[in-house]
Structure formats: C-alpha cells, structure tokens
Structure 1
Amino acid sequence: MGYRKTAKQLGSKFLIAVVFLVVSAFILLCPLLIHSPCLIDVEDLKAKPDLFGHRGAPMLAPENTLMSFNRSATECNVKAFETDVQLSKDRIPFLMHDHKSEFLKRTTNITKNVSCGNQLTFDELKTLNAGEWFVEKDPFYTVHLLTENQKNDAKMQAIPSLQELLELAKQHNTKVIFDLYHPEHCDDNKDTVDTVTTILRSGIDQKLIYWLPPKNRDYVKNATDFIQIYGNESEMFQENGSHLNVKYSQLTIDKIRKLQEDNIKVNLYVVNERWLFSLLWCAGASSVTTNSCQVLNKMRNPDWTMAPSVYRMIWILVDVGSILTMIGLFVYQWKTNDSRHREGRTNVLLWTMPDNASVV
C-alpha cells in the first residue's frame, strides 16, 4: 500500500515538473518569435515617409481652408495637399469634405438646408464662414496652441476654390491629391471633365496632380499626364499602376514591404500617432496622410529600433539568467527540504528512545 502511494506521489511530481518545464520553455522562447518591423538594422531602414496633409493641417487651422494648407506647407513641409472636391451650381470646383446630410453644416455657418454643392453658386458658397466653428468647437483640442492673430485668421476663413489651392500648390511645389464627390441625387457626369479643365487651365505641372477618383479614369488618363493613384490593389495591377492609396489597416507589414520591393508607392491614411508612424516607417511606407503633420514632421527617426542580432542576444542572456536563477532556487529548495528531513528523523529518534538510554 505504501509503495503504491509513493509511486502515485512520484507520478504527480513528475507531471508537475513536465508542465513546469514546458510552460517555462514557452515563456523563455516566445520573445525570440516576436516579429516587429522595427527590429531592423539601421542600414536597412528606408527613408522617412513623406507627409500628406489631410485637409491641410486640421489641428492648426480649419480643415480644407487656405490657412490650413498654407500652414501644412510652411510648418510641416508636407509633400502633398490631401483634399476633397465638389462642384458648385456654376460648375466651379471647390473644397469641402462633407457631402451627405452634414453638407456645409459641420464646418460653416449656413442656416438653410442644402444637400449638395450644385444647389449654390460659388459666390454664395464664398459668403459662408468656414473657420469660426474650428475656434469654437476645438475639434482636436489644439486651439490653445494658436496665437491670437492665428485665431482671428481662422475665424475669417472661407471655402476655397480648387483653383486657389492649385495656386498655393504651385507656389510651394506641392502635390495635390483629392477625392471628387458628387452625391447620387446630385450627380453630374461633367464633374470629372470640369475638374480636369480647371486643373489644366491653372498651368500647374501635371505631375503634381495625384488623380485618385476612379470614375472616368480612362478619360483622365487620355487627356492628361496626371499621376494615377488607386484605392485598391486589384484595380492598380489591372491598370499597370504604381501608386496605391489605402487605409493603413488594410495592409500587413509584410505586404507593405513586398509592394515596395515591387516599386509600388504606398500611401497610408490616416496616420496620426507617433508609434504607428514609426511602425510604418520601419515597414517602408512611401508616405502617410496625417492630421498631425506638425508632430510627425519633427521626428528624425522612428521612436524605437533595434538590430535583430542585438535583440536576440539580449533575450538569450535574459533566458540564461532566468534558467540559472531557477536552478539556483531548485537547489536551495532541495537542500532546505533535505536538511529539514534529516532534522525531522533525528527528532523522531530522540523522542522514541527510553529516558535511561544513552547515545554512543
């Protein structure tokens, strides 16, 4: 009976020891399996991604206003103005993002209900204030960073035309990338033609125009030398394109690297945080569209990088130190238990001896 009990105890201890060793091995080895794009040798790090100002510099000025784009160029050194274009009733392309139920309501002081741009002339649009909302609502909690003069300038902003933005782009030699919005109930097939005509008449270098709208792309390709930007890989490869513009979460790190190896320019949106920008920088992204150009522009390196060989060496040393610590604890526990066991046997022997017995 005692033999069976001892065997059962030994079996339990053996099982516990195996589980302990397996779990310990997993904990010690799993860091070596961690994959991060910033585990990279310095010489393999690509150039810093270019910055595209999302509607300008919307943390520093009202979005899609000349003040916003000017600040993105002068203070953030953006390589492209990212914006949104719609057409007015008199066929003038103007800058405005909202194109559904919130059209003009979020970013202007309009008081009547208007569902799309071609219900108002550009002169009517120009009378609206497009900046007071920014100072009053402080959407990014950054208004306190503006001087009083800048706040006053922000309050005086109006809706710009595409022509005005193109003039600013020519002045700074900055690219322009935009969405072309025409809500279904206000659709007009001439939107693409009129927008292209406005760009060509501006005299801007056509290579500064990144054409993103997919509608009527064949007409644009035949009529211009604009750089064609695609919103998905399948269309890009089908059209033999070389520029991709997608949300950052749509591509894996490995996919970004593979596209770059294939000489595809990858722009990712909307990237505002330093840590995310650092990861995409390490992955080799060509550019990012951002609201926080004033923050990312100041970065000279990713927030964190480490050579793979250094990372492996650190974890190997940590693992060795951990193993030696566990062995030391095991030996200490074994010696402590053995000492207690011998002390216990001596006490039992002394307790069972007769009072008149002598120990030789």
Structure 2
Amino acid sequence: LLRRYEHQPFVSCLAGVYGCRWRRYERSQPGDCCCNKLEGASFTLLVAAFCLTLVFLYFWGQAKNDYNDFDFNFGNLGFWFPWSVVLLVVAAIFFTYVTVLMLLAVCLLSEGQKLYLHWGHKVGILVSLTVSVIATAVLSDLWSKEWRTLLLSFQVTAPFLHVGGVLLMTSLAWPVALHFFRMKLILVMYLTILVSLYLVPLGLYSPCIKEEGTLGPAPALIGHRGAPMLAPENTLMSFERAVEAGSDGLETDVTIFDGVPFLMHDYTLRRTTNIHEVFPNRTNTPAAMFTWNELERLNAGDWFLSHNPFGTAGSLGAEDRQRAGNQSVCNLQTFLQLAAQTDKLVIFDLYRPPRGHPYRDTWIQRTLEVIQNESSIQSSQVLWLPSDLRALVQELDPEFQQTSGSRLPLEELQNNHIVKLNLDYTSMKYAAVNITTNLYVISQPWLYSLAWCAGVHSVTTNAPQLLSTISSPLFIMSPDKYKLMWILTDLMSFVLILLVFFFH
C-alpha cells in the first residue's frame, strides 16, 4: 500500500509532471507531514507565488480601462507598441504556470502522496514570484492610481470573489484534513482564513447592491476625442462615429496659433500627424506654433492605421480605412458645427499658448468668438471647463454650463456658478452624494456599470459604441438577495467541510 504508483497511472502522471521523476514514491499516512523540510519550503514558495501572481494578474487585468494611457506614456520611445497587452500576457502566463503546479500539488496531497518538486519548477516559481513582485512594485510607483481602480473593482467583483474564495477553501478541506489534522498550526491558519472569508460580506460596500426600483438612468456618454477606437482621435470622422454610436456629447482638446482654434491633444504633432514627413525639422515644435495653413498640409489619420492604438483598426472596412487614412487636423468651428447639427453637448480642454505667442493673453476671448459668432451651437450645449478667466466667461455668456475639473468646496462651487464636476473616475464618491458629475475616462463595461449604480450623470469614454449597448448594470442585486446568497454559500461550505473532517 505504501508504494503503488504502478496501479495508479493517473497519479503517476501527476507526480511525473510535478517532480519530473517517473518512479514510485513513498505514500504518506494521514496526519504525517507531506514532505521533507526542503520540499515544504518549496511548497510554501509555491503558495506565495500563486497568491502574488494572482494579485499581479488581477491588478493589471482591472487596469485595462487605462491601457491606452499606459501605452501613451511610452510615446517618447519614438514608436507605438502595446506594452500593456504584453504585460497582461506575461502576467497570465506566470499565473497559469503557477496555478497548474498548485493543482498538481493539491491533487497529489489529496491522494496521500509525498511532494517532490523538480528543481526546474523551483526556479520557474522563483522567477514568477520575483517578476510579479517587481512588476507590481514598479507599476505601483509609476501608476499608483490603478490601486484605486482595483479598490473600485471590488465593489463589483467582491460578491463573486467571496463565493469563489469559499469554494476554494472548501475544496482544500480534503487535503487539509488528510495531512494537517494533527498539525495544529496549519489547521489554525486554514480555519482563520476560512472564517475570515465567511465574514467578508459584513464589510462589503457596493453601490450595485441596492433596493429594487432605486436604480437611476444610465449615465450619458461623451465621446473622448470622438470615438478613438473607430477613427483617428480628434478628427471629424471620429466625432461623426461617436454621434453614430449614440454619444450624448463630444469631448476634445483645443489649441490655437494664428487665430484659428484647432483640435490637438498632444503638446507636439509627432504622435498623431505625419509632421516628420512634411516638416522634418519641426517635429518637436509645439503644436501651438503652427499656422492653420501649415496644419492643413498634415495627415492626421494614417498613424491610426499603422499604430492601431486600440487594436481595432483591423475591424474597419475598406472604405472606412481609406477615409481614416486621409483625415486632416480638425478646427474648432467644424467641431462645433457638427455638435450643433446633431444637438450634442461639447466639453473641451483649452490650452494656453506658450510665452511669445500672439494669442498668449487673448486665447479665451478668441475661443469665445468662435463659439458665439462663427458657429451655430447653442451656449447651453457648452460645458465650459477652463478655469482661467471664468468670471469673464460667465459675464460674456451666462448660458454656458460652468464645469469644474477640481474638487472645490461647495461654497466656492456656488460662487463660481459651477453646475457640474468633471473628475477622474476614481472620484466616484462625489456622484454618490448627488453632485452632478462627469467622470473620465470610462471604457470598460464593469466600470460603467459601477458608475451607473453610483448615480453618475455622464461619463467620458473611448468606447461609446460598446457602452451604448449596455441596457443594465452587469451586476445589480437587492440587499436581501445578496444576504441570502452569502448565507447559503457559507452554510453549504461549513456543512461540507464538517463532513470531510468527520470522514477523516
């Protein structure tokens, strides 16, 4: 009975993959240690690697909403590359590898076999652990905002993670009861984790757990630089695609040089135009230092097809690809006319020109002239975001919807006639206290669902074509139903674990 691999080909296969040693091993007895000290340390390292690779994968997986911003941060390398996707693939590979080894170890323990991990796997586990720790630490330092995104994600995923965690701990009851019943330290650790999981729902808060009939309307959609997944950002085609996708508003970035406000997000023209071909000696010149006649010579669409920033260019038809590749820099007047014709709200960042610029001190007045005199848009359609000279703007056109990009005291908001806040999506708590809020940039369905449950008025998105198809939040449940799910899950787990320990 102690050496019976020859009668268990499946177990023999598991042990061979885990230890790369295809021979009979000693079978442990209930209550005995599952391995020697070295293998025990290896198993502990495996558990640590499993936990940390899971954290790394979950952390980076929930950051998907901001992958485009992450890739954009590496634009100074001179070429576009989907670094975010590479990181996700690396995280998935490490987690899959460690998870397979964990499953093998648990299966072997459940069969009463002693563990012998091959040295190659030990190195692989150490590499997985090291890379996960370093990557998580570096990303936390450079992009700490994503930890707030991670916390927000728990408001959607926590109920399901709780059920999954309880199921996992329940499934581990068999090997724990078989090997560790007489090892009080391990047993205490197991029971501590189990009880903590049982009680997790007591501290859970999610705006998507609410009484039936209290869910408000879906947040309005504002196309971030149009529909940048379907067309080159800040081009006429992009805004048209956003309108077709069901956007309620359009967002852009405005720069000015010779009296013609135009749409450009970046400080220079390198990323989104062919400036290197037309003006090769001016690639690092600020966008605000080009005349409109010079800007009209640039192509603002071909980069979208070659860089494929969202991985969506391949889905365009031949006609759309041709049109996207021939887009030019769009001016503010054309943008406003489209919004006026389609009755869409507009919101934009207005960049102040650099020193020595002809419109350094009158850039706001010139922009107001275009809005009021050179377009047919209604003032009430404009969410005025720039904070400079706000009192003057309010005096010249009181119909603008004054919008603040800062979290200001209520009294200051009232004094400045602020009717809406435009905040990063991690500031969702402001919407939860009935402050009219637009959150940016939300492109993932789970994040949009959370904003919906929190009562957000509108969101700026890169994916209006995706979010407009969502008819209800991905997760919404009444408190009573969630309480029932929680209690039933814990009770079933408790009964099963009692049966397993009683059997052993």
User: TM-score by structure 2 length?
Assistant: 0.58
How big is each residue's C-alpha offset from its partner over 1:94-114, in whole Å with a ceiling of 9 and x where there is no partner? 111112xxx111111122316
Q: Where in structure 2 are the equivalents of 1:265-276 lying within 5 Å?
A: 265-276=436-447
Q: Where in structure 2 are the equivalents of 1:209-228 lying within 5 Å?
A: 209-224=382-397, 225-228=399-402
- What is the CA–CA distance in structure 2 between the aligned matches of 1:15 and 1:124, rounded to whole Å? 74
Q: 125, 129, 139: which is aligned to 2:299?
A: 129
Question: What is aligned with 1:307?
Answer: 478
Larger deviation, residues 41-50 vs 323-332:
323-332
Q: Where in structure 2 are the equivalents of 1:148-163 lying within 5 Å?
A: 148-163=318-333
Q: Where in structure 2 are the equivalents of 1:1-360 lying within 5 Å?
A: 24-74=194-244, 76-89=245-258, 91-99=259-267, 103-110=268-275, 111=279, 112-113=281-282, 115-185=285-355, 188-201=360-373, 202-224=375-397, 225-234=399-408, 237-240=411-414, 241-249=418-426, 251-253=427-429, 255-258=430-433, 260=434, 264-333=435-504
How big is each residue's C-alpha offset from its partner over 1:5-56, in whole Å with a ceiling of 9 and x where there is no partner? xxxxxxx999999877665433322234322222223411111111110000
Pick closer, same or farther for the CA change 1:39–1:164 going to 2, 3 Å: same
Given that residues 116 and 183 in structure 1 are in contact (C-alpha distance below 8 angstroms), is that contact kept between their aligned partners in structure 2? no
- What is the CA–CA distance in structure 1 between the aligned matches of 2:318 and 2:403, rounded to whole Å? 39
Q: Cα offset for 1:198?
A: 0.7
- Overall identity of the aligned pairs, in %: 39
Given that residues 236 and 243 in structure 1 are in contact (C-alpha distance below 8 angstroms), is that contact kept between their aligned partners in structure 2? no
Q: Cα offset for 1:242?
A: 2.3
- What is the CA–CA distance in structure 2 between the aligned matches of 1:163 and 1:96, rounded to whole Å? 14
Pick closer, same or farther for the CA change 1:13–1:128 going to 2, 3 Å: closer
For residue 256 of structure 1, what is the amino acid of its counterpart? A
Question: What is aligned with 1:355?
Answer: none
Q: Which runs of 5+ in 1 are unaligned?
A: 1-11, 334-360
For CA contacts below 8 A with separation 6 or more, give which structure has more relative contact order.
1
Given that residues 229 and 243 in structure 1 are in contact (C-alpha distance below 8 angstroms), is that contact kept between their aligned partners in structure 2? yes
Q: Cα offset for 1:252?
A: 4.6
Q: Secondary structure at the match of 2:209?
A: coil
For residue 264 of structure 2, what is the amino acid of its counterpart? M
How big is each residue's C-alpha offset from its partner over 1:259-288, in whole Å with a ceiling of 9 and x where there is no partner? x2xxx2111111111111111111111111
- What is the CA–CA distance in structure 2 between the aligned matches of 1:17 and 1:136, rounded to whole Å? 57
- What is the CA–CA distance in structure 2 between the aligned matches of 1:219 and 1:60, rounded to whole Å? 38
For residue 84 of structure 1, what is the amino acid of its counterpart? D
- What is the CA–CA distance in structure 1 between the aligned matches of 2:312 and 2:189, rounded to whole Å? 54
Q: Cα offset for 1:135?
A: 1.2
Pick closer, same or farther for the CA change 1:17–1:234 going to 2, 3 Å: same
For residue 67 of structure 1, what is the amino acid of its counterpart? M
Pick closer, same or farther for the CA change 1:204–1:26 going to 2, 3 Å: same
- What is the CA–CA distance in structure 2 between the aligned matches of 1:178 and 1:107, rounded to whole Å? 18
User: TM-score by structure 1 length?
Assistant: 0.80
Given that residues 61 and 68 in structure 1 are in contact (C-alpha distance below 8 angstroms), is that contact kept between their aligned partners in structure 2? yes
- What is the CA–CA distance in structure 1 between the aligned matches of 2:356 and 2:217, rounded to whole Å? 43
Give RMSD over aligned pairs.
Answer: 2.3
Pick closer, same or farther for the CA change 1:127–1:31 going to 2, 3 Å: same
- What is the CA–CA distance in structure 2 between the aligned matches of 1:124 and 1:280, rounded to whole Å? 42
- What is the CA–CA distance in structure 2 between the aligned matches of 1:109 and 1:142, rounded to whole Å? 21
Pick closer, same or farther for the CA change 1:314–1:156 going to 2, 3 Å: same
Question: What is aligned with 1:340?
Answer: none
- What is the CA–CA distance in structure 1 between the aligned matches of 2:404 and 2:341, rounded to whole Å? 26
Q: Cα offset for 1:159?
A: 0.9
Q: Cα offset for 1:312?
A: 0.5
Larger Rg: 1
